Structure 1
Amino acid sequence: MSEMRDSGVEWLGEVPAGWEIRQVGQLAEVVKAPNEGLAENNLLSLSYGKIRRRDINAVDGLLPASFETYNIIQPNDIVLRFTDLQNDQKSLRVGRATERGIITSAYVTVRPHDAFRSRFIYYALHAYDLRKGFYGMGAGVRQGLKWQEARYIRLPWPGEEEQRRIVDYLDEKCAEIDRAISAAEQSIEEYKAYKNSVIFQAVTKGLDERAAMVDSGVEWLGDVPAGWDVVPGKRILRLLQRPVEAGDGVVTCFRDGEVTLRENRRTEGFTVALKEIGYQGVEPGDLVVHGMDGFAGSIGISDSRGKASPVLNVMDSDQNKRFLMYYMRGLAYRDVYMALSDGIRVRSCNLSWKKIGNLPFALPVLDEQRRIAEYLDDRCSQVDSAIAVKQAIIFDLKAYKQSLIYEVVTGKREV
């Protein structure tokens, strides 16, 4: 292990005795190259610390009418997002370009004086970002940061050959970790697809594989067991309009189907209503369908007393509500609501009470509803546990990657 010394920089701590400390402004300069005359149309964006291509003709998202104000960037340029430091403390704010293209001029683009050093400067700034170094530096209403301030950020600076070893090592190790993360993420998607298939199969075909089947008369529903009824939702569901009580907290229907007080999950990232016009009371056991996000699975049974936005359909039924919940989720996972949609939001639909009331429900007798719901409770719990294991692996891998980058780029781990 090399002899270490105090760097005099808080975020760096000790560094190898032979390393220098440089301000990033000594190593790179700002690039301002407006896309005049729309000379370039390779649209790029900074997402999760990676500079990625976007479709310049896409209709979703906030795309400007003209891209002439965008900045033309080149391979090895480093892009820094200094906006919204106060409200967004999770994003990764440093990316390195690998191709020519255009990116919003709201970001700061810097070009290293030596293209070879670009990878090391990127990793050093990335390490600074991972240590949340940019936060607290910003000023103004949106807590923005300017290059005139950021240029004084101090970075470790080993010799050229050591920089080469470091970036080659980190490129290789980070690629290995990213592949492991990608494999775990793919497993999660496969588990989710399997879970969705199990739900739809159980709520539309039942648990008895030998049961005689009949045509339901509904194209997307297909055949159902012979003893089941197919009825519109308005015959089995009752829309509730309970009053709000003093002291009620806000109940939210999340996309994973949990219906609970907002404070039980998280409080940040929500739009706060200044006037709670049309809010309604919710009780434990109520069946809740989110009018705008039900298409994605925001359908569940409330576990809380509280008040909810009028966008939520709060309902009761004499049928088994857990069966009805799984049935409606099963349709969401098969994109049935999207097919019936007349909504204008991208990847959304308005799942109103009128649509729910007209929706065909395939219903077995109550005892079979109960058995199906219990079966799905058990199977879904097993799949969710498997997903949780994969999520824990991803969490650990990401934490290891962050630690590895910081330790290697600051010389605390030799390579």
Structure 2
Amino acid sequence: MIKKYKTYKDSGVEWIGKIPIDWTLVKLKFLMEIKSGKSISTELLSDEYDIPVLGGNGILGKTNNYNSESKDIIIGRVGAHCGNIHLLNGKKWVTDNALLVKSKINEEFLTYWLKSLKLNRLANTNAQPLLTGSLIKNQFITIPTDSQVFTQIANYLDYKTNLIDSIIAQKEELIEKLKEQRQAIINEAVTKGLNPNVPLRAYGIEWLGDIPEHWKVVKFRYKFETSKGLTITKANLVDEGIPVVNYGEIHSKFGFEVNPEIHNLKCVIEDYIESNESSLLSKGDFVFADTSEDIEGSGNFTHLNSDIPTFAGYHTIIARLIDNSDYRYFAYFFDSTTYRTQIQNLVKGVKVYSITNKILKDTILFYPPVDEQKNISEYIDFKVNKIFSSIEKLEKSIKKLKEYRQSIISEAVTGKIDVRDWKPKTA
């Protein structure tokens, strides 16, 4: 059982609180050296090399050169990976998207302390978050006077966090399997229907395979009309007005469907209605992101599943059904591997992949009569809602485990618990 230290004193830092009587409050600049990594050209990267290249999100590739060969702490300094922390020993190249830390004390202990600080909160609030070495160096931490305690705390946290990480990994693996199950249900239903005994036939398209013989096959252009989203920037977004969904949110938050009744959307002022009516969505309208940073994101879309009028924002293509087909069926069809593979085979790009009106209009759709469309979409809704419920429970469990992990780290590195006599359990 983990105990507390016998005597504590006030650390002088409000969020740290009380610390063991023989611990010391010290600024990080006295415990480490910190500098920015260096950029590396793509010509110096190759899978044939052995030395890892690290940025803010871990290993980016391999090279045959290095700018450090000691045990170093690497901290992400730019963008979404701000505050990410990795500890790596041996030869490595650390890019300018990361900070390189050389510790003067036990590296594992300092790594855990840095994780407890949640360094991303120190980044500036510009469009591209940035973390600087000077901000980190001036943070206070507390350390024990006995250097052996550094190792004991690090060993304790290694053991505990590895156990927690193992459980998290198992739950994340289960989530991925559930997502694969969802995808399989969608793919089967929108390409074969619900009746396994229905006659099938080939439509002369190699990748299409056999589909029910009574289904129709048409190009996108004959089923949907298209228009563009608003020509705005982030500066035009406000907290109240007409909800608007932008391409970034399609990629990161509201893929597949969006509902302003439950989703937190930014808005534009009502004046946009008069001059931009074609960009205003009705229930069942689709919005495709017109650019993606990777090929896998090509074809990402959402559809409005609400009666609340909502604008499509910047970098989007709107698609509206021109008949009374079931929009929910086509939402699942667009989310199928069969359809997304079409998009991915048509887009071109290197760092940015663009989806054009022409690309969408040239894709091939296949579908049953309206009544059967509705039966298929209701069947998929029923199946995937059960899957989403399971995923939601797992995600909540993972969140709690991560919070528990963070609390254990914080308690150990601030001396709230005494692990000096702790030993791992043996089998």
TM-score of the aligned structures, taking structure 1 as reference length? 0.79
Contact 1:11–1:133 (CA<8 Å) still a contact in 2?
Answer: no
8 Å CA contact 2:343–2:360 kept in 1: the answer is: no
Structure 2 counterpart SS, 1:258: strand
Q: CA deviation at 1:262?
A: 11
Quick one: distance in 2 between partners of 1:280 and 1:296? 19
Given that 1:78 and 1:95 are in contact with CA atoms closer than 8 Å, whether structure 2 keeps it comes out as: yes
Match of residue 256 from structure 2:
257
Counterpart amino acid of 1:280?
S
Shift of residue 76 of structure 1? 2.3
**Are residues 1:210 and 2:215 paired?**
no
Whole-Å Cα distance in 2 between the matches of residues 170 and 349 of structure 1? 46
Deviation at 1:409, TM superposition (A): 1.0
Contact 1:282 1:302 in 2 (8 A): no
Offset, 1:212? 1.6
Out of 197, 218, 222, the position equivalent to 2:184 is: 197
Q: What is the correspondence of 1:12-411 to structure 2 with a 5 Å cutoff?
A: 12-30=16-34, 42-47=52-57, 52-56=58-62, 72-81=67-76, 91-105=82-96, 107-114=98-105, 117-129=106-118, 134=122, 147-148=133-134, 150-158=136-144, 159-239=146-226, 248-252=242-246, 254-255=250-251, 256-261=255-260, 264-265=263-264, 267=266, 280-292=279-291, 295-303=298-306, 304-308=308-312, 309=314, 311-318=316-323, 319-331=325-337, 335-339=341-345, 341-346=346-351, 348-350=353-355, 352-411=356-415
Distance 2:352 2:339 in 1: 13
Does the CA-based 8 Å contact 1:77-1:96 persist in structure 2?
A: yes
SS of residue matched to 1:43: strand
Query: Aligned pairs, how many?
Result: 381
Letter of the structure 2 residue corresponding to residue 119 of structure 1: E
Amino acid at match of 1:112: S
Q: What is the alpha-carbon distance in structure 2 between the residues aligned to residue 298 and residue 22 of structure 1?
A: 50
Q: CA RMSD in A?
A: 3.8
In the alignment, the residues of structure 1 paired with residue 130 and residue 74 of structure 2 have an alpha-carbon distance, to the nearest angstrom, of: 15
State which drifts further: 8-17 or 252-261. 252-261
Q: CA deviation at 1:414?
A: 2.5
The C-alpha deviation readout for 1:373-400, integer Å capped at 9, x for no partner, is 1111111111111111111111111111
| Distance across 2 between alignment mates of 1:324 and 1:370 | 10
Gaps of 5+ in 1: 58-66, 269-275
Structure (1 or 2) with the greater strand fraction: 2
Identity of aligned residues (%): 24
Q: 1:205 to 1:347 in 2, by over 3 A?
A: farther
Provide the secondary structure at the position in 1 that maps to 2:70. coil
Give the direction of change, closer, same or farther, for the CA distance of 1:105–1:199 in structure 2 (3 Å limit). Answer: closer
Shift in alpha-carbon separation, 1:141–1:198, aligned structure 2, 3 A = closer
Mapped partners of 1:209, 1:320: distance in 2: 22
